[in-house]
Amino acid sequence: MPTPRETILTALHARLSALPATALRGEVLPERVPAEGLLILRDGVPGEPEVTLSPLAYHYQHRAEIEAVVQGADRDAAFDTLTASIGAALATDRTLGGLCDWVEAEAPRPVDLPIEGAASLKAAVIPVVLHYSTADPLA
């Protein structure tokens, strides 16, 4: 049986997979970026939890990351569309079906990456904070 953390990350990946861009989890950047864009979900770190004792509960603000990448001549507009679609996908259900208390994305910091012999990439890491509680830090 998967842990709450894994269940939440799987649900987040499924939400991203519903977008037109290709969504991967924990993969390396492929040689080719699909025309619709590429999203790579990184598990991130759960951080130090706040603890309540009665009943015992660990309250996390887990910071996952989404790497968003587009390529092509119109990459500024494509990047804007891609990041807006991520925000809209998260806003449809901020609890991922009741699996966590709240999901909140932070603003991306885009960079242009030149590629020798090909169109430049526009990419950013988008931090996503997952608020959830569990009875055991290893469960």
CATH code for position 65: 3.30.70.1700
Q: What global pTM score does this model have? A: 0.93
DSSP state for residue 127 in the 8-state scheme: E
Cβ(121)–Cβ(71) under 8 Å?
yes
20 domain residue, yes or no: yes
83 domain residue, yes or no: yes
**Distance (Å, whole) CA 8 – CA 22:** 19
**Distance (Å, whole) CA 92 – CA 82:** 16
For the chain, how many structural domains are there in total?
Answer: 1
Those residues with Cβ within 8 angstroms of residue 26's Cβ, 6 or more apart along the chain or in another chain: 40, 41, 42, 43
Which range marks the domain in which residue 22 is found? 4-47+54-134
Q: Looking at residue 121, what is its pLDDT?
A: 92
* Amino acid present at 119: A
60 domain residue, yes or no: yes
Tens of pLDDT along the chain (139 residues) come to 899 999 999 999 999 999 999 999 999 988 889 999 999 999 999 999 999 998 999 999 999 999 999 998 899 999 999 999 999 999 999 999 999 999 999 999 999 888 887 778 999 999 999 999 999 998 7
- In terms of C-beta density within 10 A (0-12 exposed, 13-18 middle, 19 or more buried), how is residue 38 classed? buried
Give the residues across from 113 on adjacent strands: 121
120 domain residue, yes or no: yes
139 domain residue, yes or no: no
92 domain residue, yes or no: yes
**Distance (Å, whole) CA 54 – CA 43:** 29
**Distance (Å, whole) CA 70 – CA 123:** 6
